[in-house]
A and B are shown apart, each in its own frame.
Chain A
Amino acid sequence: MKLENPVQSLFALLFGLLFLSPALYSIWLSFQTADAYYAGGLEFTVDNYGRAVGQYHFARYLLNSVIVSGIVTVGGISIATLAAYAFARFRFRGGDLLFGAVVATLMIPSHISLIPNYLTLAKVGLLDSYAGLILPAMASAFATFFLRQYIRGIPRSLDEAAYMDGATSLQVLWRVIVPLSRPAILSMALFIFIGEWNSYIWPLVAIGKDDLYTLQVGLARLYRINPGEGVIDWPLVMAASTISILPVLLGFALVERHLVRGITMGAVK
Chain B
Amino acid sequence: MSSISLRAINKSYDGTTPVLHDVSMDIEDGEFIVIVGPSGCGKSTLLRLIAGLEQCQDGEILIAGERANEQLPQHRDIAMIFQNYALYPHLTVRENIAFGLELRKVPKKERNARALEVARTLQLERYLDRKPGALSGGQRQRVAMGRAIARNTSTFLMDEPLSNLDNALRVAMRTEIKALHRQLGATIIYVTHDQTEALSLADRIAVMKDGYLQQFDTPEAIYDQPANQFVASFLGMPPMNFLPADKVPFWKGDADIEIGLRPEALSINPAGAGDFCLPGRIAISEMTGSDVILHCDTDAGRLTLIEERTSLTKGGGDVLINVDLDRAHYFSKADGGRVNPA
Contacts and interface: CB of A to CB of B under 8 A. Distances in A.
Interface string B66-107: 000000111000111011111111100000000110011000
B121 to A, nearest CB: 19
Contacts of B89: 180, 263-267
Interface footprint category on A: 20 to 34
Among A164, A175, A176, A264, the one with the most B-chain Cβ atoms within 10 Å of its Cβ is A164
Interface stretch (A45-53, A155-163, A197-205): A155-163
Interface in A139-190: 155, 157-158, 160-168, 171, 175-176, 179-180
Nearest to B130: A266
A180 B132 CA distance: 14
Contacts of B79: 164-165
Contacts of B140: 266, 269
B43 to A, nearest CB: 17
Contacts of A265: 89, 133
B74 A166 contact: yes
Interface residues of B, number: 32
Nearest to B150: A165
A166 B74 CA distance: 4
B142 interface: no
B282 interface: no
A160 B86 contact: yes
B103 A171 contact: yes
A10 interface: no
A97 interface: no
B39 interface: no
B86 A163 contact: no
B164 A179 contact: no
Given A155-B84, A157-B84, A158-B86, A166 B131 contact: no
Given A164-B80, A165-B103, A167-B103, A157 B86 contact: yes
Nearest to A267: B89
Contacts of A263: 89-90
Contacts of A3: none
A268 interface: yes
B147 interface: yes
Scoring B72, B89, B99, B151 by chain A CB atoms within 10 A of each residue's CB, the highest score goes to: B89
Report which residue of A162, A165, A266 has the largest number of chain B beta carbons within 10 angstroms of its beta carbon.
A165
A166 B148 CA distance: 11
Contacts of A158: 86, 88
23 contacts: A157-B84, A160-B53, A161-B87, A161-B88, A161-B147, A163-B52, A163-B72, A165-B79, A165-B103, A165-B147, A165-B151, A166-B74, A166-B100, A166-B103, A168-B74, A175-B103, A180-B90, A264-B89, A266-B131, A266-B132, A266-B140, A267-B132, A268-B85
